[in-house]
Structure 1
Amino acid sequence: MAYLHAPALGCPKPIRNQYKLDGNWQTYTREFLKILLN
């Protein structure tokens, strides 16, 4: 098994940055799911 770095599958930086500021996991997951489901 090999590691493949796939940045396109990660959470966008603005969402991560907001989470770092407020620690609101509910908002983080809601916003990330919007990206994943569109």
Structure 2
Amino acid sequence: GTHVRSTGEVGEIHIGKIEKKGRENRRFRIRFGPMPAI
């Protein structure tokens, strides 16, 4: 996968949506960058 030298290179991370994919499995939609305006 992609590597970065420090977490500061990634910037802001936001959880967009969490979906249930079975009894114990979840799918997280992750957004990078500033939070979008609603």
Which TM-score band (shorter chain)? under 0.3
Greater strand content: 2
TM-score after normalising by structure 2: 0.24
Q: TM-score, normalised by structure 1?
A: 0.24
Task: Indicate the structure with greater helix content.
Answer: 1
Structure of greater Rg: 2
